């Protein structure tokens, strides 16, 4: 009886939580030609809609539309002759379901923070991960050093770990940098960095990866935004910067448009946009922290992975369509990573796509991936991963988390990263030999 009552209370609490998304729709929109693509892009900008996945001639776009804008959206789609499918008529229902499933998974595994580190049953909050990094370094002082890259706007410490058998003192090893959660709502990226940490510190089966490489891993690049997705708005993407005119109506800077590389040339100047680039390059402490990490290790930086969701893509620079000098090797390593992931992925998820970000998605300036490419060695490689959206026959999930997929996404991404990192290590050795 008591249990039932609690369950009832729990569900009603959960159900009140995502009130702001009540009646919001998720749409899949197909475009048949360049004209329609342009029309759709204009419409999205004018209505400041939240694009979950950009439309392309070869694949439909996915767009979140607020309840109060849905009628206008339908009308404009009709006028433009753009066909759409409603993936969800009320995204709040999906969010309630996500909460219940994650909470159940977490309850079943409470206190499973053991010798093998954090469990992969749920998506851990900032405080848990933050403490975990400290504890991990304390328990493995010969391999792990916890570092601070700076503080977020709300004062959270942006911690990362150095993993090295030689305490970063042996400069004949290359450095690899992997980060997740630069975009707050992209929860599936967190298990990927946590899984990498686990396989490099706690559950080591491939010693060469630990011994031959110095690793830098940052699990939560945007802690304020990330916490906000847990407490307020699940689909928040940016950081929590405030103080923008007019009157603080909108908040947040898209950190992945705020890096100092072609800044402001292919991003939004509208504070309310999800790709708002900020007042100037590196205006935000979080992007500055990540940029500082890249520069700090740049003399040995051979491989960078900035993890995002979703789309099953491995993208490289530059976001203005220019290609890095070593693009053929970047592409080759990208394809090898994609094949390694595809070989172990869930069958219902699509194969990975690999390419320059402009060819595959869109123009984008000020991205972490581009800044990583510029910071890395001349033969270094920097990638933006779009991890898969889990899909099954019940349909669509987008950014939503399926508990069973948490460990899988960590595992399969690691299978890909390993291949890319070994490729980069090989490049490093060849270049050192030729010096
Ligand atoms: C922790 O995980 C192990 C193995 O995954 C499981 O057998 C055990 O029941 C879990 N412990 C708790 C307290 O849930
Ligand atoms: C430094 O790293 C290189 C390359 O991994 C290795 O060959 C060498 O033995 C290392 N030196 C020391 C002192 O650990
Ligand atoms: Zn992202």
pLDDT digit string, tens, across residues 293-303: 999 999 999 99
What would the mean pLDDT of 28-49 be, rounded to a whole number? 93
Closest ligand to residue 174's CA: 2
Distances (CA, A) of 69 to 53, 63, 75, 157: 19, 12, 10, 38
pLDDT at 104: 86
Which pLDDT band holds residue 246 (cuts at 50, 70, 90)?
A: low
Distance CA 255, CA 285 (A): 9
The per-residue pLDDT for range 249-291, each reduced to its tens digit, is 899 999 999 999 999 999 999 999 999 999 999 999 999 999 9
What would the mean pLDDT of 232-261 be, rounded to a whole number? 92
Which pLDDT band holds residue 353 (cuts at 50, 70, 90)?
A: very high
What would the mean pLDDT of 419-427 be, rounded to a whole number? 98
Which pLDDT band holds residue 247 (cuts at 50, 70, 90)?
A: low
Residue nearest to atom 7 of ligand 2 (CA): 172
Residue-averaged pLDDT of the chain: 92
Which pLDDT band holds residue 62 (cuts at 50, 70, 90)?
A: very high
Annotated active-site residue in 121, 286, 386, 402: 386
* 111 pLDDT above the threshold of 70: no
Residue nearest to atom 14 of ligand 1 (CA): 109
pLDDT at 100: 92
* 15 pLDDT above the threshold of 90: no
The per-residue pLDDT for range 217-227, each reduced to its tens digit, is 999 999 999 99
Tokens of 385: 């991963």
The per-residue pLDDT for range 159-199, each reduced to its tens digit, is 999 999 999 999 999 999 999 999 999 999 999 999 999 99
Q: Is the CB of 173 under 6 A from ligand 2?
A: yes
Distance CA 182, CA 227 (A): 12
Distance CA 1, CA 13 (A): 18
Q: Which atom of ligand 2 is nearest to the CA of 170?
A: 1
| 386 a catalytic residue | yes
Read off φ and ψ for residue 282, nearest 5 degrees: 55, 35
Top mutation candidate among 112, 116, 407 for ligand 1, by most atoms within 8 Å of CB:
112
Min mean pLDDT across 112-121, 135-144, 146-155, 379-388 is at: 112-121
Min mean pLDDT across 6-20, 61-75, 90-104, 263-277 is at: 6-20
* 9 pLDDT above the threshold of 50: no
Top mutation candidate among 170, 207, 208, 432 for ligand 2, by most atoms within 8 Å of CB:
170
Tokens of 143: 């391999």
Distances (CA, A) of 92 to 16, 20, 64, 106, 183: 10, 8, 12, 21, 20
* 113 pLDDT above the threshold of 50: yes
Which residue, among 52, 70, 71, has the nearest Cα to 62 in the 3D structure? 52
Cβ–Cβ < 8 Å for 252, 182: no
Q: What is the DSSP letter of 200?
A: I
What would the mean pLDDT of 48-55 be, rounded to a whole number? 93
């Amino acid at each position: 009886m008591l249990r039932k009552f609690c369950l009832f209370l729990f569900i009603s609490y959960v159900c009140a939580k995502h009130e702001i998304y009540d009646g919001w729709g998720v749409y899949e929109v197909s475009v048949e030609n360049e004209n329609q693509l342009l029309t759709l892009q204009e419409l999205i900008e004018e209505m400041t809609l939240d694009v979950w996945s950009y439309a392309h001639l070869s694949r439909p776009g996915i767009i979140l539309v607020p309840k109060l804008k849905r009628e206008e959206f339908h009308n404009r789609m009709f006028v433009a002759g753009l066909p759409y499918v409603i993936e969800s008529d009320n995204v709040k229902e999906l969010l309630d379901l996500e909460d219940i499933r994650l909470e159940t998974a977490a309850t079943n595994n409470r206190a499973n923070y053991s010798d093998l580190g954090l469990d992969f049953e749920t998506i851990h909050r900032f405080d848990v991960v933050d403490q975990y990094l400290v504890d991990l370094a304390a328990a493995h002082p010969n391999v792990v050093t916890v570092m601070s890259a700076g503080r977020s706007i709300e004062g959270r410490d942006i911690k990362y770990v150095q993993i090295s058998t030689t305490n970063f003192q042996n400069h004949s090893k290359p450095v690899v940098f992997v980060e997740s959660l630069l975009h707050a709502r992209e929860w599936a990226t967190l298990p990927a960095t946590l899984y990498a940490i686990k396989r490099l510190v706690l559950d080591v089966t491939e010693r060469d990866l630990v011994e031959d490489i110095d690793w830098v891993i940052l699990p939560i690049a945007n802690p304020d935004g990330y916490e906000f997705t847990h407490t307020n708005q699940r689909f928040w993407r940016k950081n929590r910067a405030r103080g923008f005119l007019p009157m603080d109506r909108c908040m947040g800077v898209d950190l992945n448009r705020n890096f100092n590389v072609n800044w402001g040339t292919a991003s939004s100047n509208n504070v309310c946009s999800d790709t708002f680039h900020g007042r100037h390059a590196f205006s935000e402490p979080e992007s500055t922290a990540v940029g500082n990490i890249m520069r700090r290790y740049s003399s040995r930086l051979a491989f960078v992975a900035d993890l995002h969701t979703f789309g099953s893509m491995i993208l490289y620079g530059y976001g203005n369509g220019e290609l890095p000098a070593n693009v053929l090797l970047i592409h080759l390593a990208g394809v090898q990573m994609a094949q390694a992931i595809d070989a172990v992925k869930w069958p219902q998820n699509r194969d990975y796509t690999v390419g320059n970000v402009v060819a595959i998605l869109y123009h984008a300036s000020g991205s972490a991936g581009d800044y990583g490419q510029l910071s890395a060695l001349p033969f270094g490689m920097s990638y933006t991963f779009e991890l898969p959206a889990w899909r099954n026959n019940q349909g669509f999930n987008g950014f939503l988390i399926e508990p069973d997929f948490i460990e899988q996404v960590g595992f399969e991404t690691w299978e890909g990263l390993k291949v890319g990192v070994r490729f980069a290590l090989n490049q490093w050795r060849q270049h050192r030999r030729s010096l």
